[in-house]
């Protein structure tokens, strides 16, 4: 195989393809905004450098483990938060540079801050809580460097501090910096203008097959381990030993505290759905807590960030969840593609506008190792219905019901997305005895979709359809309460209700039909309920003398107050409401032939 040898400095402005790549001692490659593609390995000799600038990327096409070698270094920029109280989730594109063969471990001592387009100063590492930025200087706190490897709960976070023990493909957390750095190194912005901090990752570039540990129903922090973008949808749909879903940390950057209880953050969820589209992203829900760990009232809504996630940029970290199929997944060069962040489908924690209108556009041709034809990928959003639920006036939860011709009614890999945040106050779809934030089905107006509401205290829930995108087949959308037998229109209105503490996973359903209206129902047509607050009596009128099997009364939370049975076929029935407090109550009447109606009454004790 031909080896390309660089003995002089080389500047790439256009895309270049080589077989194997060798950069001699004292030489360098400077890539300004282009892609360099090597079919084989890279050898960076001692004191050689490979600079990726202005979103230039280096892609390799090897189909096995890395054979990169050399003590020279590749340098690639990426920006993270400049808030020293907020986390970024990272996955390093480089590791230690030595003459050894293959990928090597990373540590934060390999981070630098640029001073020119080719020179950088090594970051200063502090054991204190706060990182900082100033002209040509960067201080990183090692206290916030954690990994999370196939663990079931919060106790699974592993401290790395400054150790170079972060293997290729392992993600890590790191908090940002305070201060600013007006150094201009020829990029689109200075090093730190107050909102983003530029980091220079320097080391041996990661390459080839990278094994990532997973475990059934446990999360692993991983990410894009290469100095190029990856097609995240390709990885997730191919990685059958995980659920095929990626979770991204979001946080409220207005919170200026390191105290755990002060954090306001959560995990947004990305589902590829299919290779024919750009996927679905559901934003995180945010909670606030007092010093005792109690939920606080909602002071502002969650940001509802609509991040485009199909392409994952250099350095981006995310969580994946293992399943019962195996204990590892493999990141591969075949997922790598040349895609810049200023295109809305590749973004490192930046909010970008997402089209909410139908269109027939497709992605442009994109250079990739796999040769996948991206011009077949529609940029129109997946047909979907987004539901918002206000949870006891403390958080807003969004879930998505999407529609795909290849979906089943069960849990589908890389389509249905399990809820990543186990909280005490929540709303989700309920599939296979688990909570889901994204459910993907084939549409049928007769389908009934179970949803769960839960709280550890009495709580209010207000649910509505927030948005319908590229979908017009659902003329009606209801929340059906199986206890009260009532259908509540949530397509054109909000429905608010209160539930006692508990988990309600078999009571409520999303439906597209109101069965009480869609079929002949003699009970509904002939039985009338009215409340006389003067006499404190509820009267059920039965002029056609139907055989009434039961009359059941609930409060608005669904608590059973009384159930009168075997009432026969009288013309009317009276029930005392003298013991009831002022409020709205639900009456369910069932006839002997199995037909039933639900009706609300208002009781006033004044």
pLDDT band at 175 (very low <50, low <70, confident <90, very high): very high
pLDDT band at 264 (very low <50, low <70, confident <90, very high): confident
Answering whether pTM is above 0.85, one says yes
- The two tokens of residue 26 are 């004292």
pLDDT band at 600 (very low <50, low <70, confident <90, very high): confident
State mean pLDDT over 149-161: 95
State mean pLDDT over 278-298: 75
Comparing 211-225, 333-347, 376-390, 421-435, which segment has the lowest mean pLDDT? 333-347
End-to-end CA distance of the chain: 93
Model confidence over 67-103: pLDDT tens digits? 999 999 999 999 999 899 999 999 999 999 999 999 9
Give the fold, CATH level 3, of 526-603. Answer: Immunoglobulin-like (2.60.40)
Distance CA 296, CA 299 (A): 8
Model confidence over 407-421: pLDDT tens digits? 999 999 999 999 998
pLDDT band at 263 (very low <50, low <70, confident <90, very high): confident
Model confidence over 419-471: pLDDT tens digits? 998 889 999 999 999 999 999 999 999 999 999 999 999 999 999 999 999 99
Comparing 6-10, 111-115, 135-139, 357-361, which segment has the lowest mean pLDDT? 6-10
Query: ∠ CA(336), CA(315), CA(140), 5° rounding?
Result: 165
> What was the pLDDT predicted at 254?
82
> What was the pLDDT predicted at 388?
95
Model confidence over 529-551: pLDDT tens digits? 999 999 999 999 999 899 999 99
Model confidence over 129-153: pLDDT tens digits? 999 999 999 999 999 999 999 999 9
Q: Give 129's Cβ-side CA count (13 Å radius).
A: 7
Contacts of 264 by beta carbon, 8 Å cutoff, 6+ apart: 251, 252, 255, 286, 287, 288
> What was the pLDDT predicted at 558?
81
Distance CA 337, CA 275 (A): 15
State what percent of residues in the chain have pLDDT above 70. Answer: 89
- Of residues 480 and 557, more confidence is placed in 480
Contact 132, 84 (CB under 8 A): yes
Distance CA 178, CA 469 (A): 40
As a whole number, the mean pLDDT across the chain is: 90
> What was the pLDDT predicted at 17?
67
């Amino acid at each position: 195989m031909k080896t390309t040898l660089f003995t002089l400095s080389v500047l790439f402005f256009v895309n270049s393809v080589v077989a194997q790549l060798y950069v001699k001692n004292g030489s360098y490659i400077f890539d300004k905004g282009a892609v360099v593609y090597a079919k084989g390995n890279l050898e960076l000799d001692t004191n050689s450098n490979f600079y990726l600038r202005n979103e230039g990327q280096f892609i390799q096409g090897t189909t096995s483990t890395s054979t990169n070698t050399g003590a020279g270094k590749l340098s690639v920029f990426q920006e993270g938060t400049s808030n020293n109280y907020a986390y970024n989730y990272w996955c390093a594109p480089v590791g230690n540079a030595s003459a050894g063969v293959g990928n090597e471990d990373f540590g934060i001592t390999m981070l630098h801050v640029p001073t020119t387009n080719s020179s950088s100063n090594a970051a200063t590492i502090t054991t204190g809580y706060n990182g900082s930025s100033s002209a040509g200087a960067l201080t990183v706190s090692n206290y916030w460097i954690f990994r999370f490897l196939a663990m079931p709960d919060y106790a699974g976070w592993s401290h790395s501090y400054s150790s170079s023990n972060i293997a290729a493909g392992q993600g890590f957390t790191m908090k940002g910096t305070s201060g600013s750095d007006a150094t201009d190194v020829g990029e689109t912005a200075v090093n730190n203008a107050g909102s983003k901090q530029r980091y220079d990752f320097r080391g041996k570039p990661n390459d080839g097959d990278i094994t990532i540990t997973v475990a059934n129903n446990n999360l692993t922090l991983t990410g894009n381990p290469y100095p190029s973008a990856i097609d995240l949808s390709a990885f997730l749909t191919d990685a059958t030993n995980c659920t095929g879903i990626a979770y991204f940390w979001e946080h409220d950057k207005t919170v200026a505290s390191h105290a755990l209880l002060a954090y306001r953050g959560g995990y947004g969820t990305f589902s590829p759905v299919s290779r024919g589209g750009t996927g679905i992203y559901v934003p995180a829900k945010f909670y606030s807590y007092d010093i005792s760990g109690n939920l606080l009232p909602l002071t502002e809504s969650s940001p509802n960030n609509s991040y485009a996630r199909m392409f994952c940029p250099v350095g981006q970290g995310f969580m994946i969840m293992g399943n019962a199929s195996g204990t590892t997944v493999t990141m591969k060069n075949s997922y790598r593609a040349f895609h810049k962040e200023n295109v809305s489908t590749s973004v490192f924690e930046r909010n970008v506008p997402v089209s909410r209108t139908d269109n027939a556009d497709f992605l442009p041709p994109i250079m990739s190792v796999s040769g996948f034809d991206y011009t077949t990928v529609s940029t129109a959003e997946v047909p979907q219905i987004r539901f918002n639920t206000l949870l006891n006036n403390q958080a807003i939860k969004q879930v998505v019901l999407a529609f795909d011709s290849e979906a089943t009614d069960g849990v589908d890999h890389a389509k249905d997305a399990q809820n990543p945040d186990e909280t005490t106050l929540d709303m989700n779809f309920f599939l296979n005895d688990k909570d889901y934030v994204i459910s993907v089905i084939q549409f049928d107006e007769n389908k009934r979709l179970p949803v769960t509401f839960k709280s550890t205290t009495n709580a209010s829930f207000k649910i509505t359809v927030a948005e319908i995108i590229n979908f017009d087949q659902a003329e009606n959308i209801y929340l059906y309460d199986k206890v009260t037998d009532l259908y509540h229109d949530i397509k054109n209105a909000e429905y608010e209700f209160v539930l006692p503490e508990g988990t309600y996973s078999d009571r409520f359903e999303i439906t597209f039909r109101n069965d009480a209206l869609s079929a002949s129902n003699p009970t509904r047509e002939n039985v009338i309920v009215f409340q006389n607050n003067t006499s404190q009596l509820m009267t059920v009128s039965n002029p056609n003398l139907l055989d009434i099997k039961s009359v059941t009364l609930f409060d608005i939370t669904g608590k059973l107050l009384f159930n009168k049975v075997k009432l026969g076929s009288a013309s009317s029935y009276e029930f005392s409401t003298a013991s009831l407090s002022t409020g709205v109550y639900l009456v369910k009447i069932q006839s002997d032939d199995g037909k039933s109606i639900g009706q609300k009454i208002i009781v006033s004790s004044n």
